[in-house]
Structure 1
Amino acid sequence: MWVAAAYRTASFVAAFLPTRAPPLGLVADARARAFNRMRELQHAGDTASGLGRELAAAEGLRVREQWKANTERSDLPSERIRCAIRANWEEWFNRSHGGMSFRLTQVMTGHGYFGSFQCRIGKIANPTCEHCGRAADTVEHTVEVCPAWHKEREILRATVGEDLTLTSLVRAMARSREGWAAVTRFADQVMTRKERAERESANNAKRERGGMSTETFDGC
């Protein structure tokens, strides 16, 4: 079963691509084509063993190609993740390793504990990074430049290389278990600390207003 935990604001496009789960519409069409073709062949007297598996495999490849073509549509959301996975399409889908975590999904979709995103959904008023105060806290800022995560970033670079754009990270993740583990470790460490910092800020704000503190716990 393909699963990814994500913010409910993440688009279907952004949620489906990391898990490699094709859109249900494409899957339904493929199964209908395979079923109809199977009936045609059976009526023609072709009862070769394994025919169903061959049809299913062929339709699976067709679904993947249709899906890839669909990701190029300019009217779809989540361009960042669409471009990153499309650039590494075969390696991403043919890999035999890697599972999605909630914090890894945040880094891939950009929907998470990033000031720019939190500001966009109305949770905070200022998108500036509270860890360095130098720029808007986007996912790119967090992963590529924020000095607060220099140590974690250098460990990541030791495995995946200097380029930390999402396209490069997806490539490293798809090519090896080590690359996948390195990106996941970075996401887990950094996003956990950002979550805690956000809760501390919320608690401080409540104390200043004379309210009760929110419960502190690690996000799942």
Structure 2
Amino acid sequence: MKKLRTRGTTPELKEEQMDHIVKTLFPAHTNSIARPTPPIAEEQIEPFTVDELLKAAKTLKRKKAPGPDNIPSEVLKVIAENRPQILLDMYNACITSGTFPDTWKVQRLVLISKGKGDPLTPSAYRPLCMLDTTGKLLEKIYDEIFHLDMPEDTTIVGYADDIVAVITARNTEYAQRKLTQERWTAEERGRWTARLLPNLVAWSTRKHGDLDYYVTQMLTGHGYFAAFLYSIGKRKVARCIYGDAEIDSAEHTIFQCEKFGPARICLEEVVGIITPENIITKMIDSEAAWKLIAGFVENILRAKKPDLDETAG
């Protein structure tokens, strides 16, 4: 708080000046795609418990500015301790319906002057955004439920926000216990990655091979692939730009596209036939194979990028 007090006070700004500053600091994203979540049947999930609510409520920090609803964390703590069912009914309705209320996504914005620069320019301010504490408490309950207590020598590596994390640790038995093969196989998201990485323990304990920008694209399916770019509104069609497939996915580009057939043949003459089911195994088994396959992936994606940029899609 002392640091905030030393900053210059925010000057009086006209409405159009304030509007310009806010729009510059928070540009609109017109290509976002709404993905509605279907309701979840009650028998598929376990409702939140009082213990989970109380544990999460204890983590709420005191003396913090509230969001648009003006409900401070101290009030939620009191409700959780004395009338927990009020909050549980609300939060369990959220998970049963598969929703996170839009009102909890709205933030109260405060512009804090940096005390230097032209006060009419966006760079002169540090934005402070405050969410409703009621929504924060729901997020904390989720955090408590899905949190993995990891030893100090363990790290978690995530490849994309829709793919389960891979745990790497010196104690592989502990990592395997925390992220079992059964859970990975049953997980519905990240199925492309699951085809490439059927054995998480072998992957997390490999002795060689660093991930780079291009191998990560292959693992996630997110990158220079028309189908992915179409899904996020960056292209109008999902077709391969070289005209040999209606869906240009990571699988098509790396394993099927005729454009890269000669390079693929050269690679397979050394490492053998590559498929989504065996390519990572080949990379893990041999450091030389890792370098060759990673180089192949990098070369074709580097070659493809300017061709993607030149086509309107």
Q: TM-score, normalised by structure 2?
A: 0.45
Change (3 A) 1:72 1:92: same
Match of residue 84 from structure 1: 196
SS at match of 2:185: coil
Tell me which protein shows more helix as a share of its residues: 1
Change (3 A) 1:114 1:172: same
Using the alignment, how far apart are the partners of 2:240 and 2:157 within structure 1? 26
Match of residue 132 from structure 1: 243
Give 1:146 shift: 1.0
Q: TM-score, normalised by structure 1?
A: 0.62
The answer to whether structure 1 residue 143 and structure 2 residue 254 are counterparts is yes
Using the alignment, how far apart are the partners of 1:98 and 1:3 within structure 2? 17
- Structure 1 unmatched runs, 5+: 23-55, 206-220
Using the alignment, how far apart are the partners of 2:309 and 2:156 within structure 1? 27
Tell me which protein shows more strand as a share of its residues: 2
Match of residue 26 from structure 1: none
Give 1:200 shift: 2.4
SS at match of 1:13: coil
Give 1:4 shift: 7.8
The answer to whether structure 1 residue 11 and structure 2 residue 11 are counterparts is no
SS at match of 2:243: coil
Are the counterparts in 1 of residues 241 and 308 from structure 2 also a CA contact under 8 Å?
no
Change (3 A) 1:116 1:174: same
- Structure 2 unmatched runs, 5+: 1-153
Which of 198, 206, 211 is equivalent to 1:100? 211
After TM superposition, the structure 1 = structure 2 runs for residues 139-178 of structure 1, keeping only pairs within 5 Å, are: 139-165=250-276, 167-178=277-288
Which of 290, 294, 303 is equivalent to 1:193? 303
Give percent identity, aligned residues only.
22
RMSD value over aligned CA atoms?
2.8
Using the alignment, how far apart are the partners of 1:12 and 1:151 within structure 2? 33
Match of residue 185 from structure 2: 72
Question: Comparing both chains, which one has the higher relative contact order based on Cα–Cα distances under 8 Å and sequence gaps of 6 or more?
Answer: 1
Are the counterparts in 1 of residues 283 and 289 from structure 2 also a CA contact under 8 Å?
yes
Q: Which runs of 4+ in 1 moved over 6 A?
A: 1-6
Are the counterparts in 1 of residues 184 and 194 from structure 2 also a CA contact under 8 Å?
yes
Using the alignment, how far apart are the partners of 1:3 and 1:185 within structure 2? 26
Change (3 A) 1:3 1:157: farther
Change (3 A) 1:93 1:189: same
